[in-house]
Amino acid sequence: MSVQRALAFLTEPLGWRSAIVLLAGFAAVWQLAMPVEPPVSATPPSASATAPARAGPVTALVPAYPAIAEHPLFYAIRQPWAPPATPPVPQAPAPAAPHPLQKYRLVGVVISNGARAALLKPSDGSKTVTISEGEQLSGWTLREIRPDALRFESGGDAYDIKFPTPRWPRS
């Protein structure tokens, strides 16, 4: 009765499909189990003297056809690989000399009826300097005192010293 069941199973769609998959699996295992000899390639007579004894088909043809090795057959515009050129390293610009007034920080401004004065604190921690319009500091003349900045001039150059952050409301 088992033979009748097997024949009945093989006549159903699931049965014959299973049988085909099983036979394909056996064929794959058979192919993997059998040793395969690599094909023997003939080398050109001119290449046989320079080619190594066990060179593959591609390496054996490289000495005989160097143009193909350098320029692939189907890409006429292709060139052999060359490492990218390294860009020149830019030279760092020479650091500019610090401005003579950079060492001062604006601490306060006093503006009353006719008098205007500014308070500047040197970065080295020495005594606070009080300066009025028209006076000089480090060779620079104070031309204008505004509530938020000082305007210094020397020759044709101008330099502004401002508060780090405004401390009063704008009106």
Q: Is residue 127 part of a domain?
A: yes
149 within 8 A of 159, measured Cβ to Cβ: no
- Domain contains 80: no
Residues 13 and 56 in one domain: no
Instruction: Indicate the number of domains in the chain.
Output: 3
Indicate the pLDDT class of residue 64, thresholds 50, 70 and 90. low
Cα 146 from Cα 129, distance rounded (Å): 17
With respect to residue 83, please indicate whether it lies within any of the assigned structural domains.
no
Residue-wise pLDDT for 108-127, tens only, equals 888 888 788 888 888 888 89
Whether residue 157 is contained in a domain is answered as yes
Asked if residue 84 belongs to a domain, the reply is: no
Residue 38 included in any domain: no
Q: Which residue has the tokens 């020479």?
A: 94
Is residue 169's pLDDT more than 60? yes
Q: Provide the domain limits for residue 156.
A: 104-162
% of the chain exceeding 90 in pLDDT: 5
- Do 129 and 150 lie in one domain? The reply is yes
Q: Are residues 108 and 158 in the same domain?
A: yes
Hey, which residues does 137 pair with through a beta bridge? 140
pLDDT tens digit sequence for 9-46? 778 888 888 888 999 999 999 888 887 777 666 555 55
Residue 118 lies in a domain: yes
What CATH number does residue 149 fall under? 2.30.30
Find the farthest-apart pair of alpha carbons in the chain and give their distance in angstroms, rounded.
126
